[in-house]
Amino acid sequence: MSTEVLTEARRQNRTATEFKNEPLTDFSKPENKSAMETALKKVRAEFGREVPLVIGGERITGLKTFDSFNPAHKAQLLGKFSKGTREHVEKAIEAAWKAFQSWKRQPIDIRAGLLFRAAELMRKRKHEFSATMIYEVGKTWPEADADTAEAIDFLEFYAREAYRYAGEQPMTRIESEDNELVYIPLGVGAVIPPWNFPLAIMVGMTSAAVVTGNTVVLKPSSDAPWIAWRFFALLEEAGMPPGVVNFLSGGGAEVGEPLIQHARIRFISFTGSKEVGLHINEEAAKPRKGQMWIKRVIAEMGGKDAIIVDRETKNLDEAASAAVASAFGFQGQKCSACSRLIVDEAIYDRFVPLVVQKTKALKLAAPEAPETQIGPVVNESAMKKIKEYIDKGAREGTLLAGGNVRDQEGYFVEPTVIGDVDSHATIAQEEIFGPVLAVIKAKNFDDALRIANDTQFGLTGAVFTDNPEKIRMAEEEFFVGNLYFNRKCTGALVGVHPFGGFNMSGTDSKAGGRDYLGLFLQAKAISRKRK
């Protein structure tokens, strides 16, 4: 690690308590709009490149590849990515264990310094990272910018948090002994990030593992390998030693399964669907030959998130705007997205038309255009699955807005609102992961809470009401990991809203919170008898 990185880490540590969230970009300013347009052109010039595996610092080329296409322009090739194999999994794990022997001994200034330097570099090139996501997963300008800002936040926040875990821990004192508690890393972990927050979540999972002294095999989503590669290259530039993070793209059967099943994998950090998360948890629970530990699984999974709009809500227009933003931001492809809108019957006929009106006003187009509000869904399979849910929902309820796909150029699904949905209907219970909002009528506030909790998930939720007693009731009774009042149910900020859910929504990991780094560490108590 360079002296420059160490010096920068120590400088940053002097202000370690001063974490502030990265500001979002105001694209109404001409200079910011121009900067993003420049970044889009620069990233576009990189289309078609072939990306290797990187194991122990060695670039492995000449392998079979898979293609990454732009979901807004489905014939537009973005890049070719190497297909790893079981043999590469073995090599990557071996390289990671080799690097672990020295990385775990590095002082906190070195490990946190890597994150601080990476954050600085990403901040300088933030629009290039955002432009990559605009092309690769169809994020609009604001959605991509928020993703990049969150990635910077994770780097900055976890670097500071690492100092707290590395410092002296409070202990009860006794006269006969000197006692201390130290946190030590787990070892080699598999990091398996999602495609929907392909930078922020991937950066958070990877940086948390690395800053606590672990080493990683990073298997990016096959729908978002390019942005993962851009981050990996940034880590190398920031001074990451070979083998600390190993870049291993490829399919689930060839890379994912051997990785999670391997006896030498100590932990698995995963974000994705309930089905895959449960499978990983099941596989991790099976001890393999030669395995010396119980694998730790950190899983962030799905949601069926609800916004309740109570009859005692004064500003219905504001509530409608929040519901639409929560339901259709990034085409509803967020685990925190509002997919159930539960409305008190006393205001149902006044409120729902506001939601429909705002939904129909959304501009659906290719996301490289700055005015676009709704881009494509991630791939053809997702588009077809979402359309099946829409058709079934339209039979179960009343189609109020949208309902169509536009697949001539890309994988576009109109933002869709379906009213008069029964709380046990398919679209009210299953995670759709697309721009589909089910509107459910509640008899009263108690009934609304009952409906909100009547799901296997428990990730986010929001309540609109001006009644303080109902707020207090929801605080106790609404069973979700992240609960918001009189605001949207998406947009968690690192350090402000520690993020993670209950039930089938995952292990309540609370990413971006003070507990998160502890998931990548184990505590060791040390006692010395006084003479």
Q: Which of 8, 143, 335, 431 is catalytic?
A: 335
Supply φ then ψ for residue 124, to 5 degrees: -70, -30
Q: Is 275 a catalytic residue?
A: no
List the structure tokens of 11: 């400088």
Q: What are residue 271's DSSP bridge partners?
A: 300
- Three-state secondary structure string covering 236-296: HHCCCCCCCEEECCCCHHHHHHHHHHCCCCCEEEEECCHHHHHHHHHHHCCCCCCCCCCCE
With beta carbons less than 8 A apart as the criterion, state whether 509 and 300 touch. yes
For residue 87, the tally of other CB atoms under 10 A from its CB is 10
Single-letter amino acid, residue 489? C
Q: What are residue 462's DSSP bridge partners?
A: 307, 484
Please state, in angstroms and rounded to a whole number, the distance separating the CA atoms of residues 259 and 278: 16
| Polymer length in residues for the chain | 531
With beta carbons less than 8 A apart as the criterion, state whether 383 and 435 touch. no
With beta carbons less than 8 A apart as the criterion, state whether 55 and 99 touch. no
Of 21, 24, 22, 49, nearest in space to 36 by CA = 24
Burial of 63 (0-12, 13-18, 19+ CB in 10 A): middle
Please state, in angstroms and rounded to a whole number, the distance separating the CA atoms of residues 212 and 257: 25
With beta carbons less than 8 A apart as the criterion, state whether 240 and 211 touch. no
Please state, in angstroms and rounded to a whole number, the distance separating the CA atoms of residues 94 and 162: 26
Q: Is 156 a catalytic residue?
A: no
Of 280, 246, 267, 110, nearest in space to 185 by CA = 267
Pairing of strands 338-344, 305-309: parallel
List the structure tokens of 30: 């001409």
The gap between the terminal CA atoms of the chain, to the nearest Å, is 40
Q: Which of 300, 368, 414, 431 is catalytic?
A: 300
Supply φ then ψ for residue 357, to 5 degrees: -60, -45
Q: How many CA atoms lie within 13 A of 243 on its CB side?
A: 17
Single-letter amino acid, residue 438? A
Q: What are residue 53's DSSP bridge partners?
A: 60
CA 233, 234, 237, 239 torsion-angle sign: negative
Q: How many CA atoms lie within 13 A of 27 on its CB side?
A: 18
Residues 6+ apart with CB under 8 A from 422: 396, 397, 428, 440
Active site residues: 300, 335
